[in-house]
């Protein structure tokens, strides 16, 4: 499954919203009925950390300014009000079909 993210770079103003899209080459609906699409955030020099799982569920400790949506082959991560700590690279990833794959990453930076 190929995941294509847009944009690849997103300069944003502090306090403004940001949105990242992830398009899949195949449906991500698993045979069990779940859609195993998640979003990861990687700050410079840090490992990735899980933000959103199964399309729209925030992981433990993730601020509510992060939200995920979508279905089938098109998904979106939205940050309602960007803060300085949100800089870094965001990846979508799927686990509905073997093997696990990742989008190319979207770099979010402050204008």
Partner 1 sequence: QVQLVESGGSVVQPGWSLRLSCTASGFTFSSYVMHWLRQAPGKGLEWVAVMSPDGSHKYYTESVEGRFTISRDNSRNTLYLQMNSLRVEDTATYYCAREGIGPLHDYWGQGTVVTVS
Chain residues binding partner 1 by CB under 8 A are 30, 32, 34, 36, 38, 40, 47-50, 53-54, 59, 91, 93, 95-96, 98-105
Q: Which is nearer to partner 1, 15 or 99 (CB)?
A: 99
CB of 13 to partner 1, least distance (A): 26
Cβ neighbors of 64 (< 8 A, separation 6 or more) are 58
Q: Which is nearer to partner 1, 10 or 36 (CB)?
A: 36
CB of 74 to partner 1, least distance (A): 19
CB of 19 to partner 1, least distance (A): 20
Cα distances from 4 to residues 22, 26, 91, in angstroms, run 5, 11, 10
Show the CA angle centred on residue 84, arms to residues 82 and 90, nearest 5°.
65
| DSSP reduced 3-state for 85 | helix
């Amino acid at each position: 499954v190929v995941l294509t993210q847009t944009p690849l770079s997103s300069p944003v103003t502090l306090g403004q919203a940001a949105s990242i899209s992830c398009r899949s080459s195949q449906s991500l609906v698993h045979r069990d009925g779940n859609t195993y699409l998640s979003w990861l955030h990687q700050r410079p020099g840090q490992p990735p950390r899980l933000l959103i799982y199964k399309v729209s569920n925030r992981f433990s400790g993730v601020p509510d300014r992060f939200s995920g949506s979508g279905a089938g082959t098109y998904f979106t991560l939205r940050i309602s009000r960007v803060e300085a700590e949100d800089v870094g690279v965001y990846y979508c990833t799927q686990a509905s079909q073997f093997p696990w794959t990742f989008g190319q990453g979207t770099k979010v930076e402050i204008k």
